[in-house]
Structure 1
Amino acid sequence: MNIRMITAAGLLLALAGCSTTTTTTKTAVIPLLAKNPVQDRWEGKSAGRFFAAYGPPLSDRDESGNRVYTWRGGYKNLTIKTKDGKTTGKRSLSCKADIVTNQSYEIRSIRILGDQPGVSGPSYCAELLAPSEKVEKAEKADSAD
């Protein structure tokens, strides 16, 4: 009888340590909502404008009344150097995405399928497809010259 009581108490303590709690504060929910700068930049714009800027899609298909274009581009080769300027290797970058359009050929969403760390941040696709305002202004100034 004594062994059974000790075993039961031990199991109850072990199970009590395994319980989880749910936090409903804003700080716990916000990290779950990943920000997509590429979608923010292109949602509602013409897919023709996107493909003119970054190249044609690889394929397309119908999906629930929308057209989904699979696109890959932004090919770039980087030479990796150490802080003292020595070359340590090369790295190839590219981006792959599904671009969902409505019947009016407007972009409804962009799902990134293949991404890599970028030159100056964690996402090469974001650097390529949703550059910061400083980069966009510099590109516009270069094209005006």
Structure 2
Amino acid sequence: MKIAIGNDHAGTAYKFEIVSYLESKGIKVINYGTNENDSVDYPDFVHPVAKDVDTSTVDYGILICGSGNGVAMTANKYTNVRAGLCWTKEITELTRLHNNANIICIPARFTSIPQAIEMVNTFLDTYFEGGRHITRINKIPLCS
């Protein structure tokens, strides 16, 4: 499995812990995020992750910023991306089960690092339910 991760300054500590966790499980991680705590513009770190997910270069993406909203809004501009804003394990599970999310967006200012790792684990261990949700998923991309 290969995962792309991106973060702004609010998510640097989270990113390091999540990457360490994933690598301990033998998962390859591509780091597009900042490694510093200085203020940066989150879209600069979202676009490479979303592009990799959109083109199936990676299996999944993880994005982290203060609220999770900015990274989710940016990532969801890509046709094949379904980025879900998650702040609990239960929401994370539903995001995968019903929405077939391929990027998890984590709000660093509203979750703890242990919660974030638990959500990443739930995200990776939950599979899309399919069925009635397929029709809904197929209606997400914008028609030109």
Which TM bucket (shorter chain)? under 0.3
Structure number with higher relative contact order (C-alpha < 8 Å, ≥ 6 residues apart): 2
Structure with greater proportional helix content: 2
Structure with max Cα Rg: 1
TM-score by length of 2: 0.25
Structure with greater proportional strand content: 1
